[in-house]
Amino acid sequence: MLTWRRSRPDGSEPAEGDVDGGRGAEPACPVRGEAGAGRPPAAPPAGDRPPGTADLAAAGEFLKLFYLENPQAGSIRPRVREVRAQIDDTGTYTHTPQELAYGARVAWRNSSRCIGRLYWKSMRVRDRRHVDTPEGIAVESVGHLRESATRGKIRPTITVFAPERPGVPGPRIWNEQLIRYAGYRRRDGTLLGDPRNAVLTEAVRRHGWRGGPGTPFDVLPMVVTGGDGRTLLATIPGDAVLEVELSHPSYPWFAGLGLRWHAVPAISNMALEIGGVRYPCAPFNGWYMGTEIGARNLADADRYDMLPVIAERLGLDTSSERSLWRDHALVELNVAVLHSFDKAEVTISDHHTESRRFLTHLEREELAGRVCPADWSWIVPPMSGAATPVFHRYYDDVQLSPAFVHHADGLPSGI
């Protein structure tokens, strides 16, 4: 069943604004940062350059790549002179809308831990570089969620906010994803909701969030810091939270477990680096691969840990690992995820199809003469890995630019 989250009557919501656009607007990937162990590399140090200062060498390398892959752009020489002059005068430079869109898409193409890169050219780029206030970022992030999930059809989308500049830090979103479920620690030591978000939940409650209805799937507010240093807690309106209630095609009791998951995996705590310029706030999404939800988020022992519950309802022998009760329960949970998203007509992919698509992407990249970076431990699905074609080969795990990189720090000191 497809549902749109209903907002709490007393919840504060970002003020409505022009979520369509603003100046300079350009007319999934199952990103495995959702629940996997480890994470993409932290941003490399800037050396002796002051924060926000663009690296001239990195700018040159990016421009070479842009003009090589976009010959219709003309001669590179005038643009190189222009960029060099901007860096000499201001310490940084401004990407053209075409450079920004290309750089964002190539950053996805270069994401070694993403299996769903076949459609990297289709990513929609929302140019919001003029937005740097926490209120504006909250409004545009809500717009991102609405626009990327029209009638359940998930479209890969990125919204790029103001870059870092010398002496002017860029804005930040501190949540891992725009939509995250709260994890409430109870007095008896147990936890309600998603344990992964327990620290963030405690932090936002200390700073004014009164909590949701008290379910395992209460949506956390966004924690947004603007370029001016102000931090805002912004409740996400219910009509921006597309969720799917889970049921099973063969077991009617499954719906009674009350499981659900949101449809748009919008990564929000990574920086986009293009040609020596860093955009610290650039939320992006693809669509889910079923195992991200069914084999990790709802199944991991340190997340929702649903396998023992499902095994008991299935009547499985859990007294011995040799009964493979975990495997049986895991398959049924993943069947429920795919069935429910399909029934609700919400975009999702299965791990067998996505594995074949990745090898198609790999072949295309090799034919284009490009290296396709891939981290085997992330590309191979977390269920039935050996039954997928991506399992049976090695990959080049190299870091290329443009790229999405993690910030090195955690929550701001005021949260």
Residue 16: C-alpha distances to residues 19, 138, 142, 143, 241 (Å): 8, 10, 9, 10, 16
Q: What is the mean pLDDT of residues 214-236?
A: 97
Pairwise CA distance, residues 349 & 332, whole Å? 16
What pLDDT, on a 0 to 100 scale, did the predictor assign at position 408? 83
CA dihedral 224, 230, 233, 239 (to 10 degrees): -60
Q: Is the pLDDT of residue 69 over 50?
A: yes
Q: Are the C-beta atoms of residues 171 and 151 closer than 8 Å to each other?
A: no
Q: What is the model's pLDDT at position 281?
A: 98
Q: Which of 32, 105, 109, 117 is catalytic?
A: 117
The single residue of 34, 292, 354, 365 carrying the catalytic annotation is 292
pLDDT, the chain, mean: 90
Mean pLDDT, residues 27-39: 40
- Domain residue spans in the chain? 2-180+219-259+269-371
| Position 12 pLDDT exceeds 50 | no
- pLDDT, mean of residues 24-28: 33
pLDDT reported for residue 398: 95
Residue 339: C-alpha distances to residues 23, 247, 290, 380 (Å):
41, 7, 10, 22
Catalytic, 108? Answer: no
Q: Is 29 a catalytic residue?
A: no
What single letter denotes the amino acid at residue 259?
A: L
pLDDT of 9 > 60? The answer is: no
Q: How far is CA 320 from CA 249, 295, 316, in A?
A: 27, 20, 10
Average pLDDT (114-140) is: 98
Express as a percent the part of the chain with pLDDT over 70: 87
DSSP string of 247-294? --SS-GGGGGG--EEES--EE-SEEEEETTEEES---EE--EEHHIII
Q: What is the pTM of this model?
A: 0.89
Task: Please report the pLDDT score of residue 409 as a whole number.
Answer: 74
pLDDT digits (tens, 9 = 90+) for 229-249: 999 999 999 999 999 999 999
> How high is the pLDDT of residue 43?
44
Which H/E stretch holds residue 184? strand 183-185
Residue 15: its pLDDT value, please? 35
Q: The domain 2-180+219-259+269-371: what is its CATH number?
A: 3.90.340.10
Give the active site residue among 209, 287, 325, 378: 287
Confidence of residue 50 (pLDDT cuts 50, 70, 90): confident
The answer for residues whose C-beta is within 8 angstroms of residue 187's C-beta and 6 or more apart is none
| Among 277, 271, 292, CA closest to 382 | 292
114 is catalytic: yes
Active-site residue (options: 29, 114, 281, 372) = 114
Cβ 16 vs Cβ 139: under 8 Å: yes
pLDDT at 8: 40
Q: In this model, does residue 18 exceed pLDDT 80?
A: no
135 in active site? no
| Cα 265 to Cα 37, 157, 283, distances in angstroms | 17, 11, 10
Band of pLDDT at residue 381, cut at 50, 70 and 90: very high
90 pLDDT exceeds 90? Answer: yes
Most confident of 15-19, 20-24, 47-51, 70-74: 70-74
pLDDT of residue 7: 40
Contact 257, 233 (CB under 8 A): no
Q: How confident is the model at residue 31 (pLDDT cuts 50, 70, 90)?
A: very low
Residue 22, pLDDT score: 41
Q: Does position 397 have pLDDT exceeding 50, yes or no?
A: yes
pLDDT band of residue 413 (cuts 50, 70, 90) is: low
By DSSP bridging, strand 348-349 and strand 288-289 are: parallel
Q: Each residue of 157-190: pLDDT tens digit?
A: 999 999 999 999 999 999 999 999 999 999 999 9
**Residue 48 clears pLDDT 80, i.e. is over it:** no
pLDDT digits (tens, 9 = 90+) for 318-356: 999 999 999 999 999 999 999 999 999 999 999 999 999
- Tell me the Ramachandran region of residue 170: left when phi exceeds 0, alpha when psi lies from -120 to 50, beta otherwise: beta
Are 207 and 177 contacting, i.e. CB atoms less than 8 angstroms apart? no
**Contacts for 71 with CB less than 8 Å, ≥ 6 apart:** none
Token pair of 343 as six digits? 């029934």
Strand 266-267 to 348-349 pairing: unpaired
